[in-house]
Amino acid sequence: MEVMQELIKKAGILIEALPYIQKFSGKTVVIKYGGNAMINEELKNSVMEDITLLKFIGLNPIVVHGGGPDISKALNERGVKSKFVNGLRVTDDITMQTAQQVLIGKTNKEIVALLNTNGGRAVGISGIDGSFIECKKQYTEVDGEKVDIGYVGDIVHVKHCLIDLLSSDQYIPVIAPIGTDEDGNSYNINADTVAAAVAASVEAEKLILLTDVEGIKDKDGNVIAEIHKNEIYEMIHDGSISGGMIPKVLGCLESIDGGVTGAHIIDGRIPHCLLLEIFTKTGIGTLIKSDKY
């Protein structure tokens, strides 16, 4: 009898997911893969299973990944100390070479292999391929002064034809955050920024950022399940949103302004976080809603 009750419970879970599967079938979901979910082996496999399942039930997942800790580790092994200005990695020639080797040659291919092992058909690419992420040199400011931080890119345009070709077929694109300028120079780009720009370019239904936090919290520390984009600016202004959460939410707002229906900030430390956020009534993180949601 206990076995039967367990089976009935599982059937109920599937039925709860049915309207969401119907709603999002054929829709594109851009997933920024980062944080602890890239480090913990159990969480890695959980995320890969989720992404593979999304593809098999009719959604079109696109993965954009980070890799900062791996880059820092590789630089340390070369005797190069990592430097940051305003949260951006100062990227000289050797740092850029290392970033390419790590992000494209190591991290990207590991993710592709994991997805393929779970039954998916993943293809690893970077913004250099087909020059599909066009960027220009980015500068930052310190005390009102313009500071050169090297090969750090500011996205100018995302040509989505290559992504569309892959995701509309049986493949799962896995994108390393490296772009190129009109002269063929390569640039390291913030992965959250790339994910937001890609989501806007393909007019994705959802942008989902996997983070190491539960979501956006109010002043009392409670996670906000849903919030309209206009309320985000108020929370930044009153200090409710601060620090490293600011660039994440601004990326979400940029994607929404570019046509994305909803952006999610979720806790990637929870097993099967993607399925819980997309296919349950309450979700597990914060949904930032557009006017058309």
Binding site residue list for substrate: 67-68, 89, 188
CA–CA distance, 133 with 159 (Å, rounded to integer): 6
Contact at 8 Å (CB) between 175 and 51?
Answer: no
- CA–CA dist 125, 283 (Å, integer): 30
- d(Cα 12, Cα 260) in Å, to the nearest integer? 30
Count of alpha carbons within 13 Å of 10, Cβ hemisphere only? 6
Q: What is the DSSP string of 140-175?
A: EEETTEEEEEEEEEEEEEE-THHHHHHHTTT-EEEE
Residue pair 93/105 in contact by the 8 Å Cβ criterion: no
Distance, C-alpha 199 to centroid of its chain:
9
Nearest partner of 125 among 77, 69, 211, 65, judged by Cα: 65
CB 152 within 8 A of CB 189: yes
> 191: Cβ–Cβ under 8 A, 6 or more apart, which residues?
32, 34, 64, 65, 66, 67, 177
Helix (H) or strand (E) run with residue 264 in it: strand 262-267
Q: At what angle do helices 68-77 and 93-100 cross, to 10 degrees?
A: 120
Q: Which secondary structure element, helix H or strand E, spans residue 136, and what is its range?
A: strand 133-142
Which positions make up the binding site? 67-68, 89, 188
Q: Report whether 268 contacts 42 (CB < 8 A).
A: no
